[in-house]
């Protein structure tokens, strides 16, 4: 089996939820503006019902009164729940996410529901091995216009493992990750076939495939994620976002022969655990600190996989 195409990577990155999974996922992602509108509407309804019920004499408090009172109490519960969950808990503490792809197999599986800790990165920074939810750079989603709003803002979240932090020099050689010149043990690393297959590759099958090398290179003041497959550099049909295509022969030579660069301050490198089934930082580069949402902590559904997420 050859390397995954870019289209195959994107297929693996985002799959559509169905049924109840779709409902839960959409509810968890309800925009704050929608929540505020619903809260305001219910508040008006509560006020109207209160004005109606407060002047009803005791001897007339029959079916209509009791119905109005019940609706008022329901609205009251929904308003407080909406404010507490969507305007306090979700923005600042925790948020639920659904895993849409196989890029983190076998740590996370498609349609796992997880809880991300959004508070942790308010007082500390991502560390090596953290499984991080983040807003990807535009280069990661440019091929899919539904993932970018009309104003140019990315509207999806990715989840990957933090491999490099500011100051790290990261390289991948023959499927081995090197951090600051030392090989890194990655017990979570995994290889699966592309989406049209369901079985895991054998060691023999993987050993017969191309294993592109990776490094960061500074070229004309810009940090390029560089994937080298033999004589091919940043092949946009297989590995690399078109934002980082080498424009000419001079660029190809500079990227291929350039020294690996350290990750600059304020940026992080994220890779998927399923290395040949993940469209990640090797293709679209670094993630700014400001775009990091939280750290994945728990799988809460399905119940058979309930438990904490190992970060190492």
Q: 224 pLDDT band (50/70/90 cuts)?
A: very high
Nearest to 213 by CA among 260, 173, 261, 163: 173
Answer with the residue of higher pLDDT: 194 or 240.
240
Amino acid 225: pLDDT: 97
Mean pLDDT across the chain, nearest whole number? 81
Q: Over 90: is that where the pLDDT of 152 sits?
A: no
Rounded to whole angstroms, what are the CA distances from 70 to 47, 81, 112, 194?
14, 17, 37, 54
Give me the DSSP letters along the chain.
--PPPHHHHHHHH-----HHHHHHHHHHT--HHHHHHHHHHHHHHHHHHHHHHTTS-GGG-SHHHHHHHHHHHHHHHHHHHHHHIIIIIHHHTEEEEE--SSTTTTTS-TT-EEEEESSHHHHS---TT-EEEEPPPGGGTTT-GGGB-TTS-B---EEEEEEE-TT--EEEETTEEEETTEE---TT-B-B--TT--SBPPHHHHHTS---EEEEEEETTEEEEEEEETTEES-TTTT--GGG---SHHHHHHHHHSPP-PPPTTEEEEE-SBTTS---HHHH--EEGGGEEEEEEEEEESGGG-EEPP--
- pLDDT number for residue 267: 98
Percentage of residues of the chain with pLDDT beyond 90: 40
- Which of 40-44, 100-104, 160-164 is predicted least confidently? 40-44
Q: Residue 75 pLDDT > 70, yes or no?
A: yes
pLDDT, tens only, 256-269: 999 999 999 999 99
């Amino acid at each position: 089996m050859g390397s995954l195409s870019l289209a195959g990577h994107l297929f693996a990155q985002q799959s559509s939820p169905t049924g109840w999974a779709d409902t839960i996922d959409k509810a968890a992602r309800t925009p704050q503006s929608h929540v505020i509108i619903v809260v305001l509407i219910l508040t008006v309804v509560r006020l109207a019902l209160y004005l109606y019920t407060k002047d009803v004499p005791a001897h007339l408090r029959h079916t209509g009164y009791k119905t109005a009172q019940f609706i008022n109490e329901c609205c009251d519960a929904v308003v407080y729940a909406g404010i507490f969950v969507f305007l306090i808990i979700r923005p600042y503490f925790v948020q639920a996410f659904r895993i849409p792809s196989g890029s983190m197999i076998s740590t996370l599986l498609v349609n796992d529901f997880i809880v991300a800790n959004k508070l942790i990165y308010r007082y500390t920074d991502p560390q090596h091995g953290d499984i991080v939810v983040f807003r990807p750079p535009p280069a990661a989603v440019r091929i899919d216009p539904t993932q970018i709003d009309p104003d140019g803002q990315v509207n999806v979240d990715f989840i990957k493992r933090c491999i490099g932090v500011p100051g790290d020099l990261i390289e991948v050689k023959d499927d081995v990750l090197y951090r600051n010149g030392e090989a890194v043990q990655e017990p979570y690393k995994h290889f699966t076939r592309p989406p049209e297959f369901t079985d895991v590759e054998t060691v023999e099958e993987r050993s017969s495939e191309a294993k592109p090398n990776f490094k960061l290179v500074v070229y004309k003041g810009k940090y390029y994620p560089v994937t080298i497959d033999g004589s091919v550099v940043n092949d946009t049909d297989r590995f690399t976002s078109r934002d980082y295509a080498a424009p000419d022969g001079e660029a190809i030579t500079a990227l291929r022969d350039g020294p690996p660069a350290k990750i600059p301050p304020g940026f992080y490198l994220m890779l998927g655990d399923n290395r040949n089934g993940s469209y990640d930082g090797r293709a679209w580069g670094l993630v700014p600190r400001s775009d990091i949402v939280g750290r994945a902590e728990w799988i809460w559904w399905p119940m058979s996989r309930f438990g904490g997420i190992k970060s190492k």
